[in-house]
Structure 1
Amino acid sequence: MAALLLGLATSTAALAASGGNLQQAGTDLGDRASLQRGAQLYMNYCAGCHSLKYVRYSRMAEDLGLSEEEVMENLNFTGAKFGETIGVSMPAGPATEWFGKMPPDLSLISRVRTSDWVYTYLKSFYLDETRPVGWNNTLFPNASMPNPLWQLQGLQHAEFGKVDAATGERPVTGLKVTQPGTLDAQGFDQVARDITAFLEYAGEPAALKRQSIGVWVILFLALLTFLAWLLKKEYWRDVEH
């Protein structure tokens, strides 16, 4: 119990340190269309910098209902073979020069941070001229990463509160899109949700099959329980109580 309470306290502290309340992602791994859109969005906006070293193109095609031709023509921009894992097209040298180090692999980001964290992070970028890349993030402050989806979301600015006497800084109280992108707020929410769903899938591809057979497992256990009950009745039928 003490370990559980310590874990909860640590999680709460980490959440507070990362920027406050998380928004509900509302992902559905049973929505194949969302996963397909998420894969396309990830490959176009994220895979240039972030690899998925535990996911193979062939496995993704099988799980998401895509053909080899569709994957290789529309989702593979590195020249990798169909059976290879998803890498990045950006060389390590320029990545280190621009961002200080190679951007991390995101195969397990949803399992480590949770899907709600990923969803909130994608929506929490704002322009910040004090940062080297010109962007900041309320959930993950001072991250060395620009907003990859700014053309879709638009330019988002932070709204600041009063100066904190303890830190001398003005806390961010809200975010506002000052220059609209190609999508409205609802459309961008769906984009963030689709990418989050795809990353949730990438963290555990087996989850799709596990959920699909879960119903049959429950039915089997129910049938087995019923048969066991009938067998028990048969054994005790002639026993006097």
Structure 2
Amino acid sequence: MNRILLVEDHERLARLICKGLLGAGIAVDVIGRIDAAWAAIQQLPYQAVILDRGLPDGDGLILLRRLRTAGIGLPCLVLTARDALHDRVEGLDAGADDYLPKPFAMDEMIARAKALLRRPVIQRSLDPSYGDLTLRVDAGVLWRGGNSVALSPTEAQVMLLLMRNHDEVVRRTALEAAAWGLSEAVTPNALDVALHRIRRKLLTIGARHKIVNVRGHGYALRENDVAQ
């Protein structure tokens, strides 16, 4: 399922937008602050962002400029009550793909969101490699040389975050968010089950890597000195 990040601090409006997007088969996470939205984009593979300008910690265009400066071409629809010509020009100049002034018709917003999802996301590779491991995210396949193993969508997202941050400790909450999103309730042992399955699959393809539990901090993907 496509997943959009909605950066909107107005709770009632955010609920209405979420209801509309979910009804159209689009998953959505809601965040109301710029820094938290930036952190979420680093953790989760969103296909688009819907961005309000009037946020508690500043103009939403701050986040948009930060994304574009970092080379992240995540498609962006700006929703705002600022509908003057110079406001729209400012948003587009900051890197917005579309601009919809408030108030708006929900059907139009959904149609514009779907249009965003048809655009390619130009950013870092979605198929990371680490050592002799390569992850094909869309196919859900982990490769080592000529050996491969299938991963579930949840396992693929966990492995994606670990590979992008290889040798670094990734917090448990970040892995849960990557696998299940920010809106879904996660059972206490769901991540443990996913990690157990990934570890077994790494052994299956003879990988020289292991997922290490750094007690009290999180997990890290590291390469062994000797192949198993």
TM (normalized to structure 1)?
0.27
| Structure with greater contact order relative to length (CA < 8 Å, sep ≥ 6) | 1
In terms of fraction of residues, the more helix-rich structure is 1
Q: Which has the larger radius of gyration?
A: 1
TM (normalized to structure 2)?
0.28
